[in-house]
Structure 1
Amino acid sequence: MTTRTETQKGDRIEQGTPVTVHRYTAAARINHWITAISLVLLALSGLALFHPSLYFLTGLFGGGPLARIIHPFIGVVLMLSFLGLFARFWKLNLWTRTDNIWLGRVKDVLAAQEGSLPEVGKYNAGQKLVFWSMSILIVLLFVSGIVIWQQYFSAYFTIDQRRIAVLSHSVLAIVAICVWIVHVYAAIWVRGTVGAMTRGKVTGGWAWRHHRRWLKELAKRKPEADPTSSTPAE
């Protein structure tokens, strides 16, 4: 029976003071930020069209007509970008028994008592829940968005189908915004996480504390890009 790997190409340990661990490649970071920016722009333009009290947000897009035109095209960008992220990370987000234990001790997570938590790989259960939630939500938002994109697809759907799609799209968007807020809050709360997605690196201490199984697997692996590196210190 083979054990599923918790590492990716580009993940490596770099000796130094402190020890540095390469967590995300430049391509992965660019992919992530295109997805994140697209999601923010969609949220702002969508909220602007959702309720009259938020219509002032259309000013960010050049007015109401332009916001309505631009919104679905940004949705296409989001879908394509997220497909890239999904292809990169879905295997590392598959659920394991360890994730059930981690969730069962979520009080310790919130209390920052990580000593009682099981060792996790590159992603913990919370991160995996965000990943799969956004995967489902983005696909459903894209499908419902196609139904209500009247400029190109009005002839393919009935009025009743478009009404259902509008309602579904609005509800799904609110849920997606809530999941995104949780994701951002968690990234800020766990110090060092934002730096991982901007610089691509974390300290060895950060990796040991939050993703110990991933770090241990990296330590056993032969170096990829730095032939002079050896088994890292903690």
Structure 2
Amino acid sequence: MSAHSDKYIQRYNAVERLNHWMTAITFILLMLSGFALFHPALFWLTNLFGGGTWTRILHPYIGVVMFVSFSSLALRFWHHNILSKNDIQWLKQMQDVVQNHEHKLPEVDRYNAGQKLLFWTMVTTIPLLLLTGIVIWQPWFTPFFPRNLDRFAVLLHAFCAFVMGTGIIVHIYAAIWVKGTMRAMVRGTVTRGWVKKHHPGWYKRIEQGQDH
């Protein structure tokens, strides 16, 4: 099937979808193992990873995999996520967004302002999670840092995980809420009607042969 068939438009190719799911799967594994290590009441989650010792060993390595995977996504899509005047206005009309009054909203390009904010949130939090994770990575790296820095790193690590996790929950909800969105990450394509309704700016560029 061509990239832009009569009925469907390709939103993501196979490599991009694989990259997305790799990031998503590692994120889920990190959240589960992170919860297990964060509070004794959730320690039972370590059973998913073979016990407490294995959870502590695997968590940072999975984190490195997610960082590398997301870095690839960021390099592919950063230029589609630059905020524009339309995006600022879109955010100001959040009530219309929630009420599905899309005809009242400014023209949306490949991604809306909410998706762009999540992207930049991840660009900020994932490197911070990696850096703070290295500081608290016992016994390999922690001894090389100033005393008590690991305590601050734990707090910042938990805060970044909370911010990112909240954003991802909203992202998942929105993907389910907007009918036809999940198809993009499962099959790679979306219908022309979906694009025209939710991303009219991107649709115009596709029609003009300017999509890149």
Higher relative contact order (CA 8 A, sep 6+): 1
> 1:78-227 counterparts in 2 under 5 A?
78-221=66-209
Contact 2:202 2:211 in 1 (8 A): no
Give 1:230's aligned residue.
none
Question: What is the TM-score with the length of structure 1 in the denominator?
Answer: 0.87
Q: Secondary structure at the match of 2:12?
A: coil
Contact 1:13 1:219 in 2 (8 A): no
Give 1:27's aligned residue.
15
Distance 1:222 1:51, change over 3 A: closer
Q: Cα offset for 1:223?
A: 9.9
2:41 and 2:169 map into 1 onto residues whose CA distance is: 21
Q: Secondary structure at the match of 2:72?
A: helix
Question: What is the TM-score with the length of structure 2 in the denominator?
Answer: 0.96
Q: Percent identity?
A: 49
- Within the candidate set 5, 22, 34, 1:14 is matched to 5
Q: Secondary structure at the match of 1:21?
A: strand
Give 1:51's aligned residue.
39
2:133 and 2:79 map into 1 onto residues whose CA distance is: 28
Distance 1:216 1:12, change over 3 A: farther
2:32 and 2:196 map into 1 onto residues whose CA distance is: 37
Q: Secondary structure at the match of 1:150?
A: coil
1:44 and 1:28 map into 2 onto residues whose CA distance is: 25
Distance 1:223 1:73, change over 3 A: closer
One-letter identity of the residue aligned with 1:40: I
Bigger Rg, structure 1 or 2 = 1
Give per-residue Cα distances to partners, 1:142-192, cap 9 Å, x unaligned. 110010012221231123111111111112111211111111111111111
Q: Secondary structure at the match of 2:4?
A: strand
Contact 2:180 2:190 in 1 (8 A): yes
1:108 and 1:223 map into 2 onto residues whose CA distance is: 27
Distance 1:136 1:20, change over 3 A: same
Contact 2:134 2:142 in 1 (8 A): no
